[in-house]
Amino acid sequence: MPRTRSTLAFCLLGLVLMPWQAAAEVHTETVADGLEHPWAMAFLPDGHVLVTERSGDLLRIDPENGERAAIEGVPAVDARNQGGLLDIQLHPDFAANRQVYLTWSGACGAGNATHLGRGRLAGDRLRDFETLFVATPCVDSTKHFGSRIVFDGDGHLFMTVGERGERDRSQDIGDHNGSVLRLLPDGGIPADNPFVDRDDAEAAIYSYGHRNPQGAVLHPDTGALWIHEHGPRGGDEINLPEPGANFGWPKTTYGKEYWGPEIGPDQLEGTVQPIHYWVPSIAPSGMDFYTGDRFPEWRGDLFIGALALTHLARLEMDGTEVVRETQLLDDRGWRIRDVRTGPDGYLYVLTDAANGRVVRVAPGE
């Protein structure tokens, strides 16, 4: 049974009022700098990392010495405001098929939309690149593209899409925007998607009522999809998407209008409650469970970048309950856009800036 906002309001009140822990000491090392608003990264089997820049470039970087090369064959992007070249993921069978998946804001119709595509990495070129899916309708907007990609273990691809700054789209199941989409790796629609038999709905939609989800990851033990999404002024959320479920935006939110008044009630029957939320907003982006072996004290913890409050959040979990939250790197002033566990067991973050960085992170001595 879906978790409703009304049934979980009381227990979450304790979470949101739980004080953050004091910042912990960590060691950082800049792997590469001079990046133009880097947005996402994916590690290749040889240890190199592919990094997207919002301006439209894809780079291959050697974490050992910072050497980089531009990857050719990427799609043209509409790089304005929050748009551009966004997420990147390798196909689960990358070692055999060399397929790299990208999301980007691309021009279409009278505006633009979140696009999904893939190409085959050969040397420093994406060959045979093809657009697989476009989240329609196209909208005349330069914000809230969502855009994270996650492969599950059952042959599906999840893609998050923001509501493009037009909040009522989130409640319209005839509109891809403001949703988590569930696709096949070729961009097709799974036959068991929740709305596949409804004439009034887009068959790709898995869950809806989302604002702007910019973090997504599979839980390493349960295989469940976890996402987070930006609230307005307060009300950032961590959610566990469920098939056909309504996560409430904008009918219900813990956030307020930027100019002050309430948008909706904190709880609303028939919508799904977040497992955790932030007031004030941290502006979350990027999300990963630490799965490395180098730092046992971090294993299983959830790490999330914060753009507005400029830190790396470490969330220690008991199942789906946050039992402790610590702010790391809060003395750096970095807008952290992405976070991933590297194949070497270190944690890596991207800083969102005109002179952005790839940074290796480890616990302090």
**Residues with catalytic roles:** 144
Measured between alpha carbons, how far is 86 from 55 in angstroms, rounded to an integer? 9
- Lookup: tokens for 291: 């799965």
Measured between alpha carbons, how far is 44 from 37 in angstroms, rounded to an integer? 21
Name the pairing type of β-strands 85-90 and 68-70: unpaired
Q: What is the secondary structure of 58-87 as a DSSP string? A: EEEE-TTT--EEEPB-PPP---STT-SEEE
Which regions of 94-204 does DSSP assign to beta strands (E)? 99-108, 111-122, 125-134, 149-151, 157-161, 179-183
Measured between alpha carbons, how far is 16 from 20 in angstroms, rounded to an integer? 10
| Spatial CB neighbours of 191, under 8 Å, sequence gap ≥ 6 | none
Q: Is 319 helix (H, G, I), strand (E, B) or coil?
A: coil
Measured between alpha carbons, how far is 350 from 345 in angstroms, rounded to an integer? 16
Cα dihedral angle (277, 234, 20, 24), rounded to 10 degrees?
Answer: 100
Tally of helices (H runs) and strands (E runs) in the chain: 2, 24
Q: What is the secondary structure of 201-265 as a DSSP string? A: S-TTEEEE--S-EEEEEE-TTT--EEEEE--SBS-EEEE---TT-B--TTTS-S-B-TTSSB-S-
Q: How many degrees, rounded to 5, is the angle at CA 86 between CA 94 and CA 217?
A: 60
Q: Is the peptide bond before 284 cis (omega within 30 degrees of 0)?
A: no
